[in-house]
Amino acid sequence: MVRANGAVSLRELARVVQTSEVTVRRDVRALEAEGLLDRRHGGAVLPGGFTRESGFPQKSHLATAEKTAIADLAAGLVEEGEAVVVGAGTTTQELARRLARVPGLTVVTNSLLVAQALAHANRVEVVMTGGTLRGSNYGLVGSGAEQSLQGLRVSRAFLSGAGLTAERGLSTSNMLSASVDRALVQAAAEVVVLADHTKLGTDTMFQTVPTDLITHLVTDEPAPEDERAAAEVQALADRGVHVTVAHVPGAASGAPEVPGPRRALRGTVPEVAAARRAGF
């Protein structure tokens, strides 16, 4: 699975082989010791995965249940009549499918996949950047994309990436994608990062959003034994990031109870939206 997809989560491995995540984690450690793969928080990648970027076909089959749960919650943050920017990625594509139901919405995007998901939404206006197409993620990049974002101002940006740490923020393995994501951030009053548990604690080559610019993180629950991922969520909350944790059906919870006013939010989309309006 790792060779075919470039990366895989421990949850998906456990589902496929019908065993526990604890057993899968032990086997992954053994394979890493033999140099056959590299471990990442909540998953595994091919050796040298720090710089390797998987293509869309591989990413679309990775952590699908987690991305769906994250997109469901993130959509609850968007209100009728807003203007938002949505970056490229498979998680943001899932978000776009849900935004099609929000009336009066304006979505600015550099992603052909996001635009396609919204193409038949009668009450949603889609604005695309210019730029050069990257076939690996169907995103528009380059000076044309960045220049089209100059002077733009929207309420919030929704972005995903290849890795997220409290120390460095959101990152990706492609320089051109990182540059466009930074331009998307500059256009938004708030930044919402969508990152499943396999991204937590992973650091890749190019920083896109430093931690102090991340307003809100929507993620899923790390496995109970994945203490490092849980610690990363806590560290992000300690740095002032609002954390919303999506429940994935059938997954055991390992998410921390984040204390204080920046605590993690759990629940249904309406519950999270209500919490947001209350100032969390």
The DSSP 8-state label assigned to residue 138 in this structure reads: T
Type of residue at 89: G
Type of residue at 147: Q
Distance CA 218, CA 243 (A): 6
- What is the per-residue pLDDT for 178? 94
pTM above 0.85, yes or no: no
Give the relative orientation of helices 269-277 and 64-75 as an angle to the nearest 10 degrees.
40
Alpha-carbon 259 to chain mean position:
23
Assess contact for 164 and 195: CB atoms under 8 A. yes
**Fold held by 64-277:** Rossmann fold (3.40.50)
The tens place of each residue's pLDDT in the chain, 280 residues long, gives 555 445 666 677 777 777 777 787 787 777 766 666 666 656 666 555 444 455 544 454 466 889 999 999 999 999 999 999 999 999 999 999 999 999 999 999 999 999 999 999 989 999 999 999 998 889 999 999 999 999 999 999 999 999 999 999 999 989 999 999 999 999 999 999 999 988 898 888 899 999 999 999 999 988 777 788 889 999 999 999 999 999 887 665 544 444 433 444 444 444 444 444 444 4
H helix or E strand, kind and range, residue 267 = none
**Fold held by 2-51:** Arc Repressor Mutant, subunit A (1.10.10)
Domain ranges of the chain: 2-51, 64-277
Give the residue from 221, 172, 181, 224 showing the smallest Cα distance to 198.
Answer: 221
Three-class secondary structure of residue 272 per DSSP:
helix
- What is the per-residue pLDDT for 261? 38
Type of residue at 141: V
Give the residue from 73, 69, 74 showing the smallest Cα distance to 87.
Answer: 74
